[in-house]
A and B are shown apart, each in its own frame.
Chain A
Amino acid sequence: MIGTYVVRNFKRRKVRSVLMILSLIVGTGTLVALNATVDNYRRYYTGTVAGEVGDFDLVLTRPDTAPNPFLDSDRIVPVVEGVPGVVATTPRIHAVASIRAGAKSGEAAFVALDPAVDKSGTVEVADGAYDLADDADGVPGAFLLQETADVLDVAVGDAVEIQYAPPQTRLAGRPADDNSSRRRTTATWVVRGIGTQRGLTGQSSNEGVVVSLAAAQARFGLGQTAERLVIELDPALYDSRNPEQSAFSARAVGFAIRDALGHDDFQFLMPRPKAVIDGANQFIFLQSLITMYGLLSLSVVGMLIRTLIMTNVQEQTRDMAILRILGAPRRHLFNLVIGEVAAIGLIGVGLGIVVGQSVNNLVIRPYMAQQAGDFLADMPLVTLSSVVLAVALAGGVLAISTWEPARKASATKITHAINPGIAEGPGLEDLAQLRERRTDFRVSGAGLVVLMYPLLVFYVFPLAFDFGILWVLAALIFGALLSLIVGAALLFYIVILPMERLLLRLIEAGAPRVGYFVRRTVMRGKVRNTLISLMIVMSALLPSFLSTTLALEVANTETDRRLSGGAPIRVTAPRTAEGTQAFRVQTESEGTFATDLLEELRTEPQVGPSVGRSASWSTRVRDGVGMRDAGVRVIGVDADPRPVLYDEAFELLAGDAGAFERIVADPGAVIIGAGLSTYLDRGLGDTLVLDGAGRDHTAELTIVGIARRIGGLGEYTAKQTSVWGGSNTLLIGMDAYRDLLRDPLLGPPDRTTPIVSTLMLRPAAGVDEKQLTTDLRLRYATAHDLQIDSTEETIETIREESRTGQIFLIILTALTSVLAVFGVFAVIYVSIYGRRGEIGMLKAVGTPGRHLLGVFVGEAMVMTLSATLTGVTAGVLLAYTFRLSNGFQQEVPTTFAVDPIVVPAVLALMIVASLVSAVVATHSYRRRRAIDILRTL
């Protein structure tokens, strides 16, 4: 009987059944696709990580304390390859070599590999070919990376000289001997190709040269030895959804290799697993985001199915009452509804899996593959776990959304068939229930909600962070995101009414007659699906929030980076540089430049003005009379920084621009932050007392400037709270800094001791910033272990990442918006169905069809757009709130921005959805005669 009921219902209510099946197809499809996206993204992440750290799972080298720095690859490779989980092992030489082309030379990465077997990373050839073989004359080919080729001004066919020195060794427990000579060998290569790499050299930049291992071994007299073995592990090791688990699986293979090699004198490096685990937090956030999107999609499907099934049940109340008269038990009526949904679910979910797979295979995966390179080439299309998860969740949603209609069906009273007029009121069978006192769970629920915040803040979050359990952190991030979206949607729900009024006014202005009817129905209608409206609000809120956040980030990147970096280029000394111990006391672990290197950099013809800054040194400052003191950080500069700083990067609230010159020239002058000035109540011309290194060492400094901001040279916030944290900075001249850090008992400081930790500079007039950065990197970064940052380059990188993020967001938004469209359709369809009598009457009294269509389109537009606009408003305001509060905290200005793609797309989609929904849902009523409609009532 259930089967007959299901089939008949399907035939009688084709539109509803098809709608439910379609929504399930899209819902399950979205889930499968989203889950696959998580899988893909995990691989994509691993793939993009490879671009940063090299496409290497494991690298085997000799430690620098080993007598022989080279590996006997013929002996080791078979052992390593015998370990389960190892896919390939290839020998290589990695070094920093001097490369000369004509009169130009520089130091860059030198990679020698066997192109026949070494498949790590990808190469994109811009000119020539990736051909490392010897030519007819026996001259080997080299592939020059783009930035090196640009700096050395090399073209395909040119010869380059590469000078190589084997790795330097040292005795255990002893430092390397700088005076020991290293055998250097020079050989010539001909450039066969120029291009870029990803994951090949282990560096994100495109500096260096790639040659064949055989040629390098022959020309540098290395025999069959290699400097390292690059080991590729089975990608299935990374299959776990937990990045930590993935990394540990890879590490287990590392342990197995170590055991197989008999704990010999090897050094292990695992760049990719390490990067994967380090980036886990970022992955967790994205996984939470995707889960959030999935949940939104499912909720819309659930609402839709509940609404439609409930309509079915209401329509069939009389039939069910008759079944009860005939003796059908309540559970039978319950099973009828469950059976119908189960049948629809079976079809919808089954087809949804196919659709999800198709979306993943045809859209998402190719996009990810394009972004991540060949890494995704051999990955499975949709994993079984993705499908199982989607089916389980869809099943759960179906069960939840069907429960209430099924319960209502089972509660059908016999009176519904006998006297429908009084059936809705309480009958004799309800009296017992009415008399009985019951627990009101809503009160406890409200208590739980009130407790939620303190529970999260004081218990759950600290516990999760203490234990560092990734899935708990993921759940918390997801919960926080969910609370944010749901909370904001509920908060802004009150905006729907003003939005409706606004839209009604617009309709009334354009079509007064239509507006007359729309206003009364929309503003007074009691049959409104609040839950669906909320879902639409949330569906619009999440993408609007994320896309506006992204747009604000892009728009403010330049200013933010300029304000934080201060100067176009920053060259930072290596943290382990020697000669810094004298200044290590209480300083951050920053290294310092060797004096001659600093001089060399500053006198580079391409380098314009520069300023050397010291590490920041923590001490205390006092007002001199013992009333107020504060922890501060002191930074010294060796020149007036203004020529180097961006114009917007410094702002003095008191004192003139000459203050910078004064601190350099006068060891008794200081520039302080506005917050510190307020806290100590000391202004321009007042003095401060600073504690120096050693006992009873103080310095009295005169305030010559009060700053609100000095980019790249510490914190000069106007907030007093920063003073309490001890992060406010005092800027003084380098001589004063040396004096302050020198214990007077040790005598006067040596003015020649290296002290500059960062060199901030501008390119000379006419020199391109990026070109200079590349040039400096080529010549100094590797050779002297310097970190060279370019503000312009950072801005470009962030913008590029934002573009990728936006595309990712559009994919997610498109998937969930399609479901929101179904939600809109269901609401409008049910609303129109419930107003058949009204339609029939209006047609009977002579309402033209176009007027009816106008009224229903207007109603649909107002209901949908008001919720969408509310969501968009909430999302945009939320994004601005975060940005402005962040800007306030950081004391940086905010450039206003709007998202040009996602927000308009969401609005356009909802307009189309309302239009199509109203047209399709009223189609049959518009075509039917009034009398035919009225007859069906």
Chain B
Amino acid sequence: MPARNDTDVIIHIDNVHKSYLMGKEAVPALRGVSLDIARGDMVCLMGPSGSGKTTLLNIVGGLDEPGRGHVTIDGADVVAMKEEQLARLRLEKMGFVFQTFNLLGNFTALENVEAPMVLLGRLSRAERRRRAHEILAAVGLADREHHYPSELSGGQQQRVAIARALANDPAILIGDEMTGDLDSQTGFEIMRLVRDLNQREGKTVVFVTHDPRMAEFADYTVHLLDGQIVSGASDPVARLMDTP
């Protein structure tokens, strides 16, 4: 058995608990979840409503914090981070794709992709423009870059959202019901695109879906029920060892 290489685990979740207060009662969402996701994995989280999959995704994405337990993302302990530090981590290392796209209505496709680069402030205006153009071309929207979201179809909007998620070249792509608002055919196109990015650029992808057909694009699926992982959680090191 080869020595475990910690750098290959990009997301480390250890015994995470999370509860929500519903009225005066605390309702547990996650109950002692542990999960390691290796760099370059494409992982699907599935489970019935209320199983805790979105909560887990939010914790993985640094959008939510666990009540108890440890979460490490690319070696950084996110539980100990302050809000501003978490924001910086998300800006640099993560890309988000939402079910409802959440594009900026007054920005063109190009400007929506450019926005995270403006916030990071590392590139010049010309460099930002060039990169945004390249990413949009990569998702097949080179001819739509000056269109506003309202002028794009649902599938095109989600492509823009994916392009925006890739803007700062993040290591992790987080998708929350990315295909939930799309028809099947468009949903498949989006998943193929994400899978392609995962395989071509080695992005780690964690996504939530209710659709088993979409789950098939993942390397493996983690099933949750009542806040616990019931199947699919794999030891990334073991999987690495299995890899020929």
Contacts and interface: CB of A to CB of B under 8 A. Distances in A.
Q: Do A and B bind each other?
A: yes
A937 B64 CA distance: 17
B84 A848 contact: yes
B98 A934 contact: yes
Nearest to A932: B64
B19 interface: no
B104 A849 contact: no
B118 interface: yes
B90 interface: yes
Contact of A846 (B102, B105, B107, B119): B119
| Centre residue among B88, B89, B96, B105 by max chain A CB count within 10 A | B105
B92 interface: yes
Interface stretch (A39-47, A215-223, A474-482, A512-520): A512-520
Contacts of B91: 845-847
Contacts of B89: 846
A929 interface: yes
A837 B102 contact: yes
Contact of B106 (A525, A837, A851): A525
B91 to A, nearest CB: 3
B63 interface: yes
Contacts of A517: 115, 118
Interface in B116-174: 116, 118-119, 121, 164
B100 interface: yes
Contact of B119 (A847, A930, A931): A847
A846 B119 CA distance: 8
Given A846-B87, A846-B92, A848-B87, A520 B63 contact: no
B118 A520 contact: no
A841 interface: yes
A493 B115 CA distance: 31
Interface string A892-917: 00000000000000000000000000
B111 interface: yes
A844 interface: yes
Interface in A793-844: 837-838, 840-841, 843-844
Contacts of B105: 838
B96 A513 contact: no
Interface in A695-742: none
B90 A845 contact: yes
B98 A846 contact: no
Contact of A931 (B63, B83, B92, B94): B63
Contacts of A841: 96, 98, 102, 104
Interface in B62-97: 63-64, 83-84, 87-92, 94-96
A521 B148 CA distance: 13
A929 B90 CA distance: 13
A524 interface: yes
A667 to B, nearest CB: 82
A818 to B, nearest CB: 31
Contacts of A840: 102
Nearest to B62: A846
B58 interface: yes
Contacts of B64: 929, 931
- Looking at chain A's contact residues, the main secondary structure is helix
Given A848-B84, A934-B98, A838 B63 contact: no
A520 B111 contact: yes
Contacts of A837: 100, 102
Chain B: interface size category:
20 to 34
A543 to B, nearest CB: 33
Contacts of B106: 520-521, 524-525
Contact of A838 (B92, B104, B119): B104
A849 B94 CA distance: 18
B102 A838 contact: yes
Interface in A581-606: none
Contact of B116 (A845, A929, A930, A937): A845
A281 B228 CA distance: 84
Interface string B37-58: 0000000000000000000001
B83 A844 contact: no
Contacts of A849: 83-84, 87
B122 to A, nearest CB: 12
A844 B118 CA distance: 15
B87 A843 contact: yes
Contacts of B104: 520, 838, 841
A913 to B, nearest CB: 24
Contacts of A513: 118-119, 121
Contacts of B95: 845
Nearest to A838: B104
Contacts of A847: 87, 91, 119
A518 to B, nearest CB: 11
B3 to A, nearest CB: 34
Contacts of A929: 63-64, 83
B89 to A, nearest CB: 7
A516 B116 CA distance: 11
B167 to A, nearest CB: 9
23 contacts: A516-B118, A517-B118, A520-B106, A521-B106, A524-B106, A524-B107, A525-B106, A838-B104, A838-B105, A844-B61, A844-B63, A844-B96, A845-B90, A845-B95, A845-B115, A845-B116, A846-B89, A846-B94, A847-B87, A848-B84, A849-B83, A929-B63, A934-B102
Given A517-B115, A846-B91, A846-B94, 14 more contacts: A520-B107, A520-B111, A525-B106, A838-B102, A838-B104, A841-B104, A844-B63, A844-B90, A845-B115, A846-B89, A847-B87, A849-B83, A851-B119, A930-B63
**4 tightest A-B CB contacts, nearest first:** A846-B91, A846-B90, A841-B102, A524-B106
